Amino acid sequence: MPAAGSEPPIADGTTLRVEVLSVVFQIRVPQVRVAPPTAPDSGYGSDADGPSLCVLLTRTADGVWTLPGGGVGAEETLSASARRLVADSLDVREIAHLEQLSVFSDPHRVPIVRTIASTYMGLVPSDAAATPPEAAGWFAVDSLPPLAFDHTEIVDAARHRLAAKLSYTNIAFALAPARFPMSALSEIYCAALGYPVDTTNLLRILSRRAVVVATGTVGKTGRSGGRPPALYAFAEKELRVTDEFATLRPPM
């Protein structure tokens, strides 16, 4: 048996490395930019005024943008390693939901050492403080910089997974604040799905599925005035299937 932490040989005598990579999403409203000011091309980001689906990236010493990740701890499960690598490297600790995405095992996905990636999708609530350090940044998924290896493909896979699960589960609980007006929740769905979502229709569907409940409280009046909006909350903070027939069918 190889020593703990070493790379085991495979059938042809070469070495095999296993890594964990995480696609961490948050719905963010860009203020100046969604990339750190020290990024080599800090114009990457969203041109939209409203919320955008953003992914967390980290920059290597040679300036390449990658998904957060690394090796598996000797005494850790894959999911524990994923949480540790995101939290320790990037100080993003409020991951409300984490699930395994897929295994990427193309023999040539990483040069020199064959590397198998076990990938995860993590979701951070839109109101969570998630400011990464200088060597990392949030990027709108529609305006990604060039990424290392197959990391763009991994982001695409996570984006499609999220869009699909928004149709038949309550997974939006991991993207939304604890309390919210329905207009804000529809913006979250719109940003994640990539197409407009009608607020009234969304409330009707999610209420029928017992996904959201009225809190009996109201929020602040918007800039245009009017009545304070009613606030809602998710009935549960654990993932569950709400409609296997997927009424909100994403076009992706």
Tell me which of 35 and 162 has the higher pLDDT: 162
The pair of structure tokens assigned to 23 is 């696609």
User: Is residue 251 over pLDDT 70?
Assistant: no
Place 4 in a pLDDT band, splitting at 50, 70 and 90: very low
Place 176 in a pLDDT band, splitting at 50, 70 and 90: very high
Q: E strands within 29-173?
A: 52-59, 65-66, 69-71, 97-104, 114-124, 136-140
Place 129 in a pLDDT band, splitting at 50, 70 and 90: confident
pLDDT tens, residue by residue, 41-54: 333 444 456 899 99
Task: Determine the pLDDT at residue 59.
Answer: 93
The CA distance from 105 to 116, in Å, is: 5
Tell me the DSSP string of 176-224: S-SSB-HHHHHHHHHHHHTS---HHHHHHHHHHTT-EEEEEEE----TT
The CA distance from 72 to 77, in Å, is: 8
Task: Determine the pLDDT at residue 13.
Answer: 52
All domains of the chain in start order, with CATH: 16-166 (3.90.79.10), 167-234 (1.10.10.10)
Place 224 in a pLDDT band, splitting at 50, 70 and 90: low
The CA distance from 194 to 55, in Å, is: 15
How far is CA 71 from each of CA 22, 43, 47, 170, 194, rounded to the nearest angstrom? 12, 31, 35, 31, 33
Tell me which of 71 and 33 has the higher pLDDT: 71
How many residues would you count in the chain? 252
The CA distance from 162 to 222, in Å, is: 29
